[in-house]
Amino acid sequence: MKKNKPKYKQIIDAAVVVIAENGYHSSQVSKIAKKAGVADGTIYLYFKNKEDILISLFQDKMGQLIERIEQETTSRQTAEEKLLTLVQTHFEQLAADHHLAIVTQLELRQSNKELRYKINEVLKGYMVVIDQILDEGIKEKIFRDNLNRKLVRQLIFGMMDEAITNWVMKEQRYNIVDQAKDVHSFIINGLALSRDVKE
């Protein structure tokens, strides 16, 4: 399995740093190869083409993020707690790797449309995690069930994504993790069983 060979990881990690520091359009394969300490041609022994580096990078890093979120959330009791943990872990992980945050929120989005469809595939795994929490919340009767489920998980992801993107565009000058509580509160209230007066 190529993914476990050391050069595979070297190249992925080099790509994150090179793209974060130079921007997507100034990150030539030769620059990534140099940073990774391998020859240009070697890249093509581990990746089909340049796009494949980016997809692999996203799968790899986002996969780790999702895995981490799963770990953290399962140890919580209620859906409400799980949701808070999800938002916090998501924010913490990206706050912990400035380069990765730039790459996922800004640079990778400059890739072509096809790549973005593949990125969306990776995000389906994230949607599953959100889905399970929504399920639990509904069973716990703290989340209502009268909203389009697929839509809701998109909205939740969209909120977090927008919050992080803004933080990256503001050059990470404030603490994004501090916003987790408000985002969580907004979501929890949004999903709460409607009071009599509402609707």
Give the residues lining the site for DNA (CB under 7 A): 2, 5, 7, 25-30, 38-45, 49-51
- Give the residue with the Cβ less far from a copy of itself, 109 or 139: 109
| Residue bearing tokens 């990206």 | 94
Closest C-alpha among 177, 164, 182 to residue 100: 164
As a residue count, the chain comes to 199
Residue 67 binding partner per list DNA, a copy of itself, none, with a CB distance cut-off of 5 to 8 Å that depends on partner kind: none
Spatial distance between the Cα atoms of 188 and 37, rounded to a whole number of angstroms? 47
Does position 138 bind a copy of itself by CB under 8 A? no
Element (H, E) at 135: helix 113-139
Q: Is 192 helix (H, G, I), strand (E, B) or coil?
A: strand
Partnered with residue 68 across adjacent β-strands are: none
Using the contact rule CB under 8 A, the part of the chain among 49-57, 84-92, 130-138, 158-166 near a copy of itself is 158-166
Instruction: Tell me which amino acid residue 51 is.
Output: E
Q: Applying CB under 8 A, which of residues 2, 98, 109, 139 lies at the interface with a copy of itself? A: 109
Residues forming contacts to a copy of itself in the complex (CB under 8 A) are 23-25, 106-107, 109-113, 116-117, 120, 147-148, 151-152, 154-155, 157-163, 166, 169, 179, 182-183, 185-192, 194-195, 198-199
